[in-house]
Amino acid sequence: MGVNAKTGKIFLMGADSDGGSYLGEWNVDNNEDAVLGIGFTSPDGQEGLLSIRHQMENKDTMLVTVELPQPITFKMIRSKAKATK
């Protein structure tokens, strides 16, 4: 992850050992969801786009949706802190 010093935009980039790569940009939409738009190239040269939405359901629960033709959504719930002795 990084921040473009000129624009202030937050980006994500990476590559794998097979030659695939991706470049994404984080944005906050009108619903205040954090949305990561990713462009990727597979090792065989195929290109694609992907969007991943992060939405706070409440202070302890986040919904993450991979926006595909049939979206995949999962819920992450903050664990309760363990008491220390």
26 DSSP β-pair partners: 10, 36
- Dist CA 46 CA 37 (whole Å): 17
pLDDT, tens digit (0-9, with 9 covering 90-100), for 60-78: 999 999 999 999 999 999 9
pLDDT, tens digit (0-9, with 9 covering 90-100), for 4-32: 999 999 999 999 999 999 999 999 999 99
3-state helix, strand, coil in the chain (%, to 5): 0, 55, 45
